[in-house]
């Protein structure tokens, strides 16, 4: 199973101040693999409208969805959950900064 990380030339993981919703990453992954969104939604057991909301950052990746993504794409569930948590934390921190 693949463990997706962003690493530098020395293999050290890179962290950034910029975040991306896991749906955006999923959308890029599907495009790279030439997988149709409607077909993939069906494989995930999601309604196309709900899947579209996930791709556009309006829905979160749940643990159940992460496990399905792992099975279908061979990208670990932990990766999807980590991206979701980083995204959620980034959004909350941004709210705190705006309120200050």
Q: DSSP letter string over 27-71?
A: HHHHHHTT--HHHHHHHHT--HHHHHHHHTTSSPPPHHHHHHHHH
pLDDT in tens, 61-74: 999 999 999 999 99
Q: Fill in the DSSP letter of residue 17.
A: S
C-alpha 45/C-alpha 64 separation (Å) is: 11
> Would you call 87 exposed, middle or buried from its count of C-beta atoms within 10 A (0-12, 13-18, 19+)?
buried
Q: State the architecture of 22-99 in CATH terms.
A: Orthogonal Bundle (1.10)
pLDDT in tens, 6-20: 667 787 876 666 789
Enter the pTM of the model.
0.80
Q: What is the pLDDT of residue 95?
A: 84
Q: What is the pLDDT of residue 67?
A: 98
Statement: residue 56 has pLDDT above 80: yes
């Amino acid at each position: 199973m693949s463990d997706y990380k962003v690493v530098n030339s020395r293999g050290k993981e890179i962290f950034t101040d910029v975040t991306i919703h896991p749906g955006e990453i999923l959308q890029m992954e599907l495009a790279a693999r030439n997988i149709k969104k409607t077909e993939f939604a069906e494989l995930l057991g999601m309604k196309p409208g709900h899947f579209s909301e996930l791709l556009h950052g309006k829905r979160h990746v749940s643990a159940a969805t992460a496990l399905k993504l792992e099975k279908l794409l061979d990208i670990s569930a932990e990766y999807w959950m980590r991206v979701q948590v980083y995204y959620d934390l980034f959004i909350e921190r941004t709210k705190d900064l705006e309120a200050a």
